[in-house]
Amino acid sequence: MSLTSTASQAGVVIVEDHALIVTFLRTVCESFGATVLGDADTGEAALQLIRSTTPSHILMDVRLDGDLDGADIAYELQSQGVNSRIIFVTGSSEPATIQRLTALAPHRILHKPINPTDLLEALS
């Protein structure tokens, strides 16, 4: 089975507060055949969307508008037993941030700007 065919089985939620990045991620995911179930720009909206759609993968920005950041959302989902694969999408390379994300045992951590090949591998 190829990476593209595996990625085409993915149901993805995008959690990102920058519209251009949402558009880019949506376009790339859909070009691989993945289904984008929706997007959210705040932690509260993300939790509601994820609970209602049960995606296989979540593309999670770390810094978001609102009170919750991506790591907070991931922790909340994990504590509730949500089994979606979390792929952090971050522009940060600060050791403290990366350590915080790594402690959550995500499926992958991708650094902005996102390479489409890396995204394909993360969805497969």
Tens digits of residue pLDDT in 18-76: 999 999 999 999 999 999 999 999 999 999 999 999 999 999 999 998 899 999 999 99
Give the contacts of 104 (CB within 8 A, at least 6 positions apart).
Answer: 71, 74, 75, 78, 86
**pLDDT tens digits for range 111-120:** 999 999 999 9
Q: Give rounded-to-5 percent helix, strand, coil for the chain.
A: 45, 25, 35
Is the separation of the CB atoms in 60 and 73 below 8 Å?
yes
The Cα–Cα gap between 15 and 32 comes to 19
Between CA 4 and CA 30 the distance in angstroms is 11
pTM for the whole thing? 0.93
Domains and CATH numbers, the chain: 3-123 (3.40.50.2300)
